[in-house]
Structure 1
């Protein structure tokens, strides 16, 4: 890394999860892009330092089975007046289930002119937060039924390097889920 550098751009993504009275989880993701210098952009003209070039919000209501029951997208700041016009298309998320294949599906659904790059970029992050919130609130490894295909697909076990079924973390912390490595592999 070089010792001298000049800050150009910041992207901040925040996601929050809320438990609703009806037992669903509301997920809210916000993407904000700012420049560290005045910036001439689209229909807005010159933006002052730190003013959002992009500020987009996605809000999803998700049932405990990861099914999306409500979806809202909004462009708060965008470089062009028409940026927010695509936001209503994100209501097409209603009825989808966050799980394997979700990220690829939303990339296809909202590709190119069918969506907004920034709103679509929020969806995988929100999906991850959905897992974090719903697993901690509604599920536990103690109650996990590996014979149930839907639960098997939704468990974080096997989903990353640390949680591999034949790995040290699973062996130590989830011994009933541990599967010794196959010596023939």
Structure 2
């Protein structure tokens, strides 16, 4: 077990996020994410027939981005199969606003401007980060060295490994390398 042994406890809730990347026959890529929230006990809910039984998804939410090798999004499709309120699925069409955008530097900010607040869904928006990194992982490894540069567009300066002063950047993307403390 990677974490220390916890005190005695009882599971009440499980959130599962699954992301899959598919190479399509037409040369594009489908990156899909699914989020489920499942309670271990029955939850009262007037909009779901009075209650949501234990073990039945409280949330079951999907998002698919279809993109090319440059991470340009050609199609975005969202679906909400289960939610606590009947109104929730009405927002899914808004995610087409991502079409024409490109995953890369500033993309999360752009997506937030398009779909933040009441223009989107909190849970669908939560799926955007793992979808972006899944897109990179789906295209990588590749014999195409451009994939490393695409990765840098999303990952540069997001962690110590992808920091501009790291040995990884110095070795694989020397044009982006900046020695620590340098102004250039």
Structure 2: gaps of 5 or more residues:
none
2:89 maps to 84
1:74 maps to 79
- 8 A contact 2:104–2:153 mirrored in 1: yes
For structure 1, which segment, 158-167 or 48-57, has the greater mean C-alpha deviation from structure 2 after superposition? 158-167
Change (3 A) 1:157 1:84: closer
> What are the within-5 Å matches in structure 2 for residues 82-161 of structure 1?
82-137=87-142, 139-140=144-145, 154=153, 156=155, 158-161=157-160
Change (3 A) 1:137 1:58: farther
Change (3 A) 1:183 1:17: closer
- 8 A contact 1:41–1:47 mirrored in 2: yes
**What SS does the corresponding residue of 1:66 show, helix, strand or coil?**
coil
Structure 1: gaps of 5 or more residues:
146-150
**What SS does the corresponding residue of 1:136 show, helix, strand or coil?**
coil
May I ask how many residue pairs the two structures share in their alignment? 177
Match of 1:27 among 28, 31, 36: 31
Q: CA deviation at 1:110?
A: 1.5
Q: Does 2:160 match 1:164?
A: no
**What SS does the corresponding residue of 1:73 show, helix, strand or coil?**
strand
Change (3 A) 1:25 1:85: same
CA distance in 2, matches of 1:176, 1:121: 30
For structure 1, which segment, 80-89 or 130-139, has the greater mean C-alpha deviation from structure 2 after superposition? 130-139
Q: Say what the alpha-carbon RMSD is for the aligned residues.
A: 2.8
CA distance in 1, matches of 2:101, 2:178: 35
TM-score, normalised with respect to structure 2: 0.82
CA distance in 2, matches of 1:152, 1:50: 38
Give CA-to-partner distance per residue, 1:111-158, whole Å, 9 cap, x none.
2221111111111110111111124347327x868xxxxx59537565
